Structure 1
């Protein structure tokens, strides 16, 4: 199941790297199969706060877990036989991380690790590094929506500009974002265009999330 989740997330990542939308804040993870001594997997983490859950499904051995970025461990611990733990973990930097599980004993064991974003969203719109502008057309069912705009920590260099326009192209929201996240709450219904741009020729980074008040009643659901 976890491998399937990883494949799903990898596909979402491949799409988002081209500037398109990610449909949900899906969990990612890896698992240690029965009789495996150690298992590692490369994943992409966007940054932010996650619930990190590690479980040991074996009574043969304790399981050690770790998360690495560029060879540096950013999280690690040990889970006793037949037990599990859930902790909050904040990732300051987005990028590729290595998730690892290993058995303390040589006989092998079974376990799993999952990372679930604390904040859920219906849509994620992103302007990637080096991009100057990016827009997306989104259909929204009538609901109260929270739209968050974030410069991914790069707002002190280049101000990130954003806008929301209606089906006629009229801008109903626009502004700039620095280091602090901009939060917009309003009722939306119909077709809209969401845009991100920056003045610098070098481009910038940032994203918008769209979350409906009613679960399961968000964009294109």
Structure 2
């Protein structure tokens, strides 16, 4: 597969794995994340272009896609950018609620809007979003689970709306991902069951590629036993 994939949250642990997987499959990658050394490090690889942006702002997203346009057409969007904050209902503050809604939900909406407009003009494309296992069931911090549940429903709605324009939208549902940050707090049992970022990246790349052409509007669990 060749083309240009825009990957948001590219500087994170999962983002780096997704960038590597797409490059392995021959895609040109536009890595989008907050500016900083982590993004600069990802962009040091051949075929990877960095575009720094604050994705909760619609104006910033539109500006970022103007940079993307100069690199190549948006054939695929992988909307990974997001955040997590633990805490109970009693601990929840307006700041945490707003932070997670903006990072997990609003950022996906504006990126899908920018990408879909370009894909529609070009005759089609693919979008993969990231929800969460807790978005569809189980115990979880309310702000994180609700913001991710909105991503899942948004993905289903966009799949229906954009299908006539040749754009497929699917959502993956991870749980605990085996990253250095998560290893710092996981028990040995949970660490043994956590899913490697590379395994999730392979599923995302499949959903963005031609072999998944019949699939749109799917919620794809990628949580294994975690």
With the shorter chain as reference, the TM-score category is: under 0.3
TM, length-normalised to structure 2? 0.24
Pair member with larger Rg = 1
Query: Which has the larger share of helix?
Result: 2
